Amino acid sequence: MREVDSVFWSRALTELTLSFHIIFATIGVGVPLMILIAQYVGYKKNDMHYTMMARRWARGYTITVAVGVVTGTIIGLQLSLLWPQFMEVAGQVIAIPLFMETFAFFFEAIFLGIYLYTWDRFKNPKYHMLLLIPVSIGAAMSALFITIVNSFMNAPQGFTVKGDALIDIQPFMAMFTPAMPTKVGHVLTTAFMTVAFILAAIAAYKLLRGENHVYHKKALVLTMKLGLIFALASAVVGDFSAKYLAEYQPEKLAAAEWHFETEEGADLILFGVLDDGEIKYELRLPKMLSFLSHTDFNAEVIGLDQFPEDEHPPLIIHYFFDIMVSIGVFMILLSAIFVLGKWRNWSFVEARWFRWLIVLGGPLSVIAIEAGWWLAEMGRQPWILYGIMRTAEGATTATGVEYLFIAFAVVYFILGVGSVVILHRMFKNNPIDKELNSRQDGEGSWH
């Protein structure tokens, strides 16, 4: 009984930490690229507003990076604390990308430190801008390496199990699993998409609040355009992810789609509720599931009936899938209409209600990220290492994890509230008008 508790609370604590970390990690991956783009546009067009965008985003970024770093440190150590038996096994095969990740962090941290503290220090501003390239690469590499580890958990390879031992270990084989290309691609594109929409939401909010400055309008157009590009890319790569699942983890896809019986020409089921195994109130798109999984309306799609009961993932992941995809489609439409509207001068894209929709898009994108991870991680259950080790076998045998859960929950609450309050104060005390004026008067740096 006590062991069951440990497993339950280890899962809960992992979920909590990762769900919190992923918000800051996503921002950490996306923001450097956005800063780089803004600074580049500012440099090319010689437009102070874009340079100012880069500068203000970078300032906010210092806060989210800090929370990203501390929560990342927590999860990094927590993996060994909560899943010691899993890490003992995984460490033998997949340690390389974890190790590489620390180098990526190092690299990013070093250049970020330099970038933040050398504004206007170089004679040629181009050198300062170039510092962002290693920062962006470091951030993207962090995502790449950690996602490689996660792909390994979903499609382990590069070793042979012999009794209790692992033999024939090939560390680089373990990194290039079938799950890796789609997963890495989807994680990166969704991170860029989410950050673009968060920044767009902030610009739209400022406009709604009456700071009717052309700076915010430029920011809004730039970020919505970038958002559209990355949202389209996310959907395309997301579709590849589903095709990967159909091929390699069919039970995850089947649970996500509530596809219980193997059949040809399978329907795609959206939303709905389960009543005693009956699907009700759903939206049914005929034969779409076959098409999505195999690009063929009549292809056979494997259902949950092909798998033993105790290997079925929880059916709740259906909702996570629907939430993620709906948000993805909604954001594509919203940003496409905005970009088209700007081009064709449709006045409603400047209306208050439309701007409120853009404000909503920021948090919605974050929700899509969370839903996507819950889908991916819960959909792997009951496995911690797909087909090799069950989650219950990987958990710690120590007791009392529930108290740690409470303690960490309090910490994340403080960090979450703290970062929101600080970010809010930082920009409220220093609105764009004031900063532009003081810079034009040649005043010293901001404090």
List residues binding ligand HDD (CB under 6 A). 154, 179, 183, 186-187, 190, 193-194, 234-235, 238-239, 241-242, 245, 252, 324-325, 327-329, 365, 368-369, 372-373, 375-376, 379
Q: Does residue 302 bind ligand HEM (CB under 6 A)?
A: no
When the beta carbons of 183 and 218 are compared against ligand HDD, the nearer one is 183
Contact segment (CB under 6 A) with ligand HEM among 20-28, 196-204, 206-214, 349-357 equals 20-28
From the list other proteins, ligand HDD, ligand HEM, none, partner contacted by residue 325 (C-beta under 5 to 8 A by kind): ligand HDD
Least distance to ligand HDD, CB of residue 391, Å: 16
**Residue span binding ligand HEM (CB under 6 A) among the ranges 8-16, 40-48, 218-226, 245-253:** 8-16
Q: Which stretch binds ligand HEM (CB under 6 A): 10-18, 42-50, 222-230, 396-404?
A: 10-18
Does the protein bind ligand HEM through residue 374 (CB under 6 A)?
Answer: yes
Instruction: Please report, for residues 193, 198, 333, 346, 409, the alpha-carbon distance to residue 228 in angstroms, rounded to integers and kept in the order given.
Output: 8, 13, 9, 18, 35
CA 382 to each of CA 93, 108, 387, 389, 399: distance values in angstroms, whole numbers, following the listed order: 21, 35, 9, 9, 21
Stated length of the chain: 447
Structure tokens that stand for 362 in this block: 């920021």
120 contact choice in ligand HEM, other proteins, ligand HDD, none (CB below 5 to 8 Å, kind-dependent): other proteins
Choice between 30 and 216, CB closer to ligand HEM: 30
Least separation in angstroms between residue 416's CB and ligand HEM is 14
| Nearest-10 crossing angle of helices 214-248, 352-378 | 30
261 phi/psi in degrees, rounded to 5: -115, 135
Residue window 41-70: x/- pattern of binding to other proteins, with contact defined by CB under 8 A = --------------x--xx--xx-xxx-xx
CB distance 4 to 55 below 8 Å: no
Q: Any idea what DSSP says for residue 270?
A: E
Site residues (CB under 8 A) for other proteins, limited to 121-140: 121, 134
Residue 87 site contact among ligand HEM, ligand HDD, other proteins, none (CB < 5 to 8 Å, cut-off depends on kind): other proteins
- CB 300, min distance to other proteins, A: 39
Should residue 345 be labelled a site residue for other proteins when binding is judged by CB under 8 A? Answer: no
Contact set for ligand HEM, span 133-162 (CB under 6 A): 139, 142-143, 146-147, 149-150, 153
Q: How far is the CB of 25 from ligand HEM (least distance, A)?
A: 3
Structure tokens at 333: 């439409």
Residue 186 contact partner, candidates ligand HDD, ligand HEM, other proteins, none, CB within 5 to 8 A by sort of partner: ligand HDD
- What is the C-alpha to C-alpha distance for residues 147 and 157, in angstroms, rounded to an integer? 15
Quick one: which of 15, 300, 402, 435 contacts ligand HEM (CB under 6 A)? 15
**In this structure, are residues 74 and 93 in contact, taking their beta carbons and an 8 Å threshold?**
no
- Alpha carbon dihedral 305, 308, 310, 316, in 10-degree steps, equals -20
Rounded to whole angstroms, the Cα distance separating 377 from 375 reads 6
Cβ proximity to ligand HDD, 238 vs 394, nearer residue? 238
The answer to whether 425 contacts other proteins (rule: CB under 8 A) is yes
Please check whether residue 301 is in contact with residue 242, taking contact to mean a CB–CB distance below 8 angstroms. no
Radius of gyration from C-alpha coordinates of the chain: 23
Binding to ligand HEM (CB under 6 A) within 94-133 occurs at 105, 109
Sort strands 165-167 and 160-162 into parallel, antiparallel or unpaired: antiparallel
CB atoms within 10 A of CB 24: 22
**Spatial distance between the Cα atoms of 139 and 147, rounded to a whole number of angstroms:** 12
* Start-to-end Cα distance in the chain: 56
Q: Does 391 bind ligand HEM (CB under 6 A)?
A: yes
Asked if residues 426 and 59 have their Cβ atoms less than 8 Å apart, the reply is: yes
